[in-house]
Homo-oligomer: A and B are copies of this chain.
Amino acid sequence: MNATTHPTIADVAQRAGVSTATVSRVINKSGNVTADTIARVQAAIAALDYAPHSGARILASRRARTIGLITPTISDLFFTDLLRGIEQTVYEHEYTLLIHATHGRPYDDIIPMLPLNHHNTDGLIIFTNSVDDARLQKLHARHFPLVLLHRSPPAGTAMPCVTFENKDGAFQMTAHLIACGHRRIAFVSGPAGNEDAGWREQGYREALAVHGLAVDPALIVPGDFNAVVAATAVTHLLHTQPNIDAIFAADDESARGALAAIRQSGRRVPQDIALAGFDDSLLSQYLHPPLTTVRAPIEAAGRAAAAQLIQLIHTGHADPLTLLPTELVIRESCGWVLVNSEQ
């Protein structure tokens, strides 16, 4: 080694007057080493400011001590909560987390040649549809530990997955809107193919049915989990269906867009029209009026996914399905403030 390079385990061994095996033992706290030897080795490590080469460690030990997260995007209010849950759990178990955002590019184009493939990782958390079914199958066929987050396994394949009660949350919210006296309730849907979005719409439909209300297709407009898309759709909706009295948006982002569109049309929330969202994202409480929404346990979902994966890595088993409960958060956008509260 010289000034421009990094010290290796051999440098440490030499300086401590021991073999590389001993240095490896103290680093990994494996095997039996005298307290005295440990001290000498640690002193040498500190003096040299040595850090093990993780590539070499992974190669030699066939363990990466790392779990990977594949996600479509990272620029999302949703994502920060999710990540907090995952990180926390991962670190508690002394693993490291590697994150890769696909941004819509197929997994196969990016991962295979690069640092976040299955060689650097003891298992993967797959968020929504960042990886396609075929790739999932291949990974699974090799017994590579996988946990799905907000996404179902390919047909016929058993992979543990974690999600929350989208349908029930949407059902409850729709029921709440009905209890508030609303009848013409529109729904701003999410992206096609997104499972969360699908279940939320399903919950809306079922609640309507249970309460004897017909589902009017003209009242379901596309929002794509996106404020701008939702605003456009709601503006149009307000024109063609002027007599609606409530809007339930599939997520808080589209609720935000709906709010802007409603205000633009000269109507007031909640006096003229009620509005509800889904997620209870950071934004929702700062909207004006504060948004009534469904709280999604996003951070808990992250924790559960990480915990399931680590368990899978260690024991070979995990729960096939983890379903986390959602909860109504009644604020002001529906015009019913705490009517049901603690009496």
Contact (Cβ within 8 A) B142 A112: no
Known: A65-B114, A74-B83, A283-B286. A55 touches B55 (CB 8 A): yes
**Which of A66, A80, A288: most chain B CB closer than 10 A?**
A80
Alpha-carbon gap, A76 to B64, bound state (A)? 28
- Interface stretch, picked from A115-123, A183-191, A204-212, is A115-123
A314 at the interface (CB under 8 A from B): no
Which of the residues B56, B74, B76 comes within 8 Å of A59, measured between beta carbons? B56
Contact (Cβ within 8 A) B120 A54: yes
A58 at the interface (CB under 8 A from B): yes
Closest to A111 in B: B51
A239 at the interface (CB under 8 A from B): no
Alpha-carbon gap, A142 to B7, bound state (A)? 10
Alpha-carbon gap, A64 to B54, bound state (A)? 11
Separation in Å of the A51 CB from the closest CB of chain B? 4
Task: Tell me how many chains of this kind the complex includes.
Answer: 2
Closest to A84 in B: B75
Separation in Å of the A255 CB from the closest CB of chain B? 12
Alpha-carbon gap, A98 to B80, bound state (A)? 17
Alpha-carbon gap, A103 to B64, bound state (A)? 22
Which of the residues B56, B74, B143, B287 comes within 8 Å of A80, measured between beta carbons? B74
Contact (Cβ within 8 A) B53 A119: yes
Contact (Cβ within 8 A) B119 A115: no
A5 at the interface (CB under 8 A from B): yes
A3 at the interface (CB under 8 A from B): yes
Which of the residues B27, B76, B87, B115 comes within 8 Å of A96, measured between beta carbons? B115
A52 at the interface (CB under 8 A from B): yes
A4 at the interface (CB under 8 A from B): yes
Separation in Å of the A261 CB from the closest CB of chain B? 14
Q: Mark A24-63, 1 if CB is under 8 A from B, else 0.
A: 0001000000000000000000000101111111110000
Alpha-carbon gap, A114 to B27, bound state (A)? 12
Which of the residues B54, B58, B84, B141 comes within 8 Å of A117, measured between beta carbons? B54
- Can you list 21 pairs linking A and B with CB atoms under 8 Å apart? A3-B141, A6-B142, A51-B111, A52-B113, A52-B117, A53-B117, A54-B55, A54-B115, A55-B56, A55-B58, A55-B59, A56-B59, A65-B114, A65-B115, A66-B114, A75-B80, A76-B80, A96-B115, A99-B99, A115-B120, A286-B286
